[in-house]
Amino acid sequence: MAANETDTGHFGRTLHGKVAVVAGGTRGASRAIAVELGRRGAYVYVTGRTSGADRSEVGRTETIEGTVERIERAGGDGAALRVDHLDPEQVRGLAARVEAEHGGVDILIDGVWGGDGHIGWGQPVWEHPLQASLRMIRLGIDAHIVTAHLLLPLVLRRPGGLVVEMTDGTAEYNANYRHGTTLAFHIAKAAAHHLAIAEAAELSEAAESSEVAAHDCTAVALTPGWLRSEAMLDEFGVTEATWRDALEQQPHFCISESPTFVGRTVAALAGDPDKHRFTGRTLNSGELAKIYDVDDVDGSRPDGWRYITEVADAGKPADPTGYR
């Protein structure tokens, strides 16, 4: 199914009447999640630092307005708000607007990042530029805590609210050091697992208080597999239509998935009345696809992290048979 089609598939408009905030929804997985939430009927606030002529340090052309345009083409509705989630006052303003317009938040997706340009692949911490290391920590941890502090009270107002902390890697995979990256990247991404655990506990404790109306609020971390993001496609010099041409450069790219795939799995999770069973866990797109019977745009069902562990990291030849 193309990204601009309004067909909602077998899930229909299961999120009609829901309010979502997708923080960092400018590009990649978060952009696709915003579109799929909108496709299924949620009103989506899309935030990020790149809007019109204003560019973040990432320096790419995708904008929050572009994400909302995709939501609208998919038959949904939303608003683009330029917000730096490291600035508490800007996030406080976001919370005030959402509260005034809708009274609460049903779905909070925290995909704030923008730190790929700081990774410095393979550099040990004593060689990696200190400012780049600290910037990744700020983007991957501080911005998420600011967002949780100011927006979780709005999630608590909705019965069955959902919080998703986006990350890179399963909890099992990130339990060991991510060789080939850098210390700060590893810490920033592994932090999402603990954010989900802590948020799940605090939401549960708050729900038991007579001061809040919500119950069974769910918090999870979630990772896509090998994502065919805009930046990844550019890195290989291909498009979504020609992505298989990249296999000559990197054969294991055969397991890659479109951003729409993870978007569909998150939308399915958001519409699950029994999603609280996952609270505190780190989930991945391949896992959720099996649970909710979700396919990628090409009709396949990539199981990226199982492939990475069992094939790529094991030194086996690239072969997606049995993994998509």
pLDDT for residue 8 is more than 70: no
| 173, pLDDT greater than 80 | yes
DSSP 3-state of 311: helix
Instruction: Report pLDDT for 54.
Output: 83
Q: Give the mean pLDDT of 128-132.
A: 97
214 band by pLDDT with thresholds 50, 70 and 90? low
**pLDDT of 198 over the 80 cut:** yes
Residue 271's contacts (CB-CB under 8 Å, 6 or more residues apart) are: 11, 14, 15, 40
Mean pLDDT (whole number) for 227-243: 96
DSSP output for 18-64: -EEEEETTTSHHHHHHHHHHHHTT-EEEEEES-BTTB--TT--S--H
In the predicted model, what is the mean pLDDT of residues 257-262?
98
Q: Where are the alpha helices (DSSP H) in 156-243?
A: 183-207, 230-236
Residue 301 has pLDDT above 90, yes or no: yes
pLDDT tens, residue by residue, 57-74: 887 888 999 999 999 999
Instruction: Give the mean pLDDT of 145-157.
Output: 96
Q: Which residues, including other chains, have CB under 8 Å from residue 210's CB and lie 6 or more apart? A: none
Give strand pairing partners of 23. 47, 110
pTM above 0.85, yes or no: yes
Tokens 């990350």: give the residue: 167
DSSP one-letter string for 92-123: HHHHHHHHHHHSS-SEEEE-----GGG--TT-
Average pLDDT over residues 131-142: 98
Compute the average pLDDT of residues 283-292.
98
Position 60 scores a pLDDT of: 86
Residue length of the chain: 324
What percentage of the chain carries pLDDT values higher than 70?
Answer: 94
- Return the pLDDT at 211: 57
Report pLDDT for 59.
79
How high is the pLDDT of residue 300? 97
Could you read off the pLDDT of 14-60 as tens digits, one per residue?
899 999 999 999 999 999 999 999 999 999 999 999 898 788 888 78
Residue 20 CA to residue 106 CA, distance in Å, equals: 6
Closest CA to 293 of 260, 322, 264, 273: 264
Asked if the model's pLDDT at residue 9 lies above 90, the reply is: no
Distance of CA 41 to the CA centre of its chain: 19
DSSP at 243: G
Give the separation between CA 40 and CA 99, rounded to whole angstroms: 22
| 75-125 pLDDT tens trace | 999 999 999 999 999 999 999 999 999 999 999 999 999 999 999 999 999
**Cβ–Cβ < 8 Å for 184, 125:** yes
| Distance in angstroms (rounded) separating the CA atoms of residues 140 and 189 | 7
Burial of residue 30 (number of CB atoms within 10 Å: 0-12, 13-18, 19+): buried
